[in-house]
A and B are shown apart, each in its own frame.
Chain A
């Protein structure tokens, strides 16, 4: 069998199994809630912008990573290995096909979250001002800012999370508790910024400085009432949104940040490569 056909076969069937399962629906609802929450909180409390983004990235990527572990587990759960490995399919093609499917699922859901956040931000301005938030008639943060946030902060933890969950579940033959504990510990310590920069999965330690300067700038623009979401007046809020927008777009340019993201990509690929190696070795040595 040609390698690419085997890869497509593994991808398609893994996707069908996922579509038929329940976890997709749960995850879709979770991403909807997360997206709406992010859109509203950024809009209402721009002074807490980076806190909101950090929480959103933490919850979204953690939830998706754990779900990926659950999806990857399906093969072990139904003990399909004996059937699969007694066929002539190539180990590399099959495992890469499965991984790419899981990655597609992970990125798809993180995109759903981002899209919902953009729509929330947009609808919040457009449809409801006269009824509920007439005093919040200022420009939305805009699609570009959300896309920028997505590729800088969502994409890379998603990549690593998918590889990590997939690799550990496969290599440890479905030891879910160990895998989930490892992921949760890594994510929480990264969120609390107790890890060195090169281990910062969420990348939140890299915008600490600019987050501080943004807070100072916003403090000058917004009065105490606007900062606590009591009265949001148009003019200062538009200025605040512009400040946030500029802050986002400026973020992620440091060499440390780029090195961290590149490292996450390399580690992700390495994990899949190791998984292919281990399973291939087991299959060849019949362990």
Chain B
């Protein structure tokens, strides 16, 4: 049984800027998507869970153990992939993984096996002996995932893992996450909503350092029912609506009009019809509806 409890955690940086404010979450095994706009506090939260940052107030426990009082124990079950994966360009992929594996306390045959398994898992076994400086951005991301998986972590933290990946690589990454066996808690921070839809069971929405929403994906989509509209309009009308409404997608039709999907609680234009919301639209609704209130609260 895996349990990560985040209790009333806040983090204040210099100049009294709060990166996180009174976050409380209780997480169990599964894949969780951590989403939110830039500056929401996603990276700060992951850095804290990776024992690289301590909260200003509050505490985090892993199966009842305070991870800041006993960080070594937490680090033994941890796999962390930072936002920008740091690699030594003159090492080969295999050497780099051996290095990280040894830092994680793996040795001998076990280390060798884990390195090979992880390289295979991320589809890099044929490039294992190539120096990392010759790797593309996508390949480096895969090396980043491999190093995080080396110690078969129970707590896997991935910060923007699909950033810079092309569509094929992104799909491959999703497959890797889906193929992970065993009981573990995977937290994936991203602002690419479609990734979350494909990988996560649950969602945590952070905004301005606070948890704005937590639950499963269908619940969030259900909350947006009745708030997503589609309509055809003239270009002038579209330009006017853009200013006042949240538009989730738009395209020009063959008769030189605009067809757009709008996220709003009330019918934005005569003739607009309700449609089934996507997760992205539900996310837009959740972040826009609360932004003013959140602003006021933080101030």
Contact = CB atoms under 8 A, between A and B. Distances in A.
Contacts of A81: 86
Q: Is the interface of A mostly helix, strand, loop or mixed?
A: helix
B103 A87 contact: yes
Contacts of A5: 102, 107
A86 B75 contact: yes
Interface string A153-189: 0000000000000000000000000000000000000
B50 A13 contact: no
Chain A contact patch, size range = 20 to 34
A20 interface: yes
Interface stretch (A72-80, A100-108, A131-139): A72-80
B91 A88 contact: no
Contact of B103 (A9, A17, A21, A82): A9
Interface string A8-29: 0100010011001100000000
Contacts of A253: none
Interface stretch (B77-85, B119-127, B241-249, B262-270): B77-85
Contacts of B50: 82, 86
B80 A83 contact: yes
Interface stretch (B23-31, B51-59, B275-283, B288-296): B51-59
A83 B82 contact: yes
Contact of B75 (A20, A80, A88): A88
A254 B71 CA distance: 51
Nearest to B68: A286
A209 interface: no
A79 B105 contact: no
Contacts of B90: 17, 20-21
A274 to B, nearest CB: 22
B95 A16 contact: yes
B86 A78 contact: yes
Given A1-B105, A17-B91, A88-B76, A82 B99 contact: no
A74 B103 contact: no
A52 B24 CA distance: 69
B164 interface: no
B147 interface: yes
**Residue of B50, B75, B102 ringed by the most chain A CB atoms within 10 A:** B102
B39 interface: no
Contacts of B75: 86-88
B268 to A, nearest CB: 45
B72 interface: yes
A17 B68 CA distance: 32
Contacts of A285: 54
14 contacts: A5-B107, A13-B102, A20-B91, A78-B88, A78-B89, A81-B86, A86-B50, A86-B78, A87-B75, A87-B105, A88-B104, A94-B103, A286-B53, A286-B54
Interface of B: 47, 50-54, 68, 71-72, 75-76, 78, 80, 82, 84, 86-91, 95, 99-100, 102-105, 107, 147
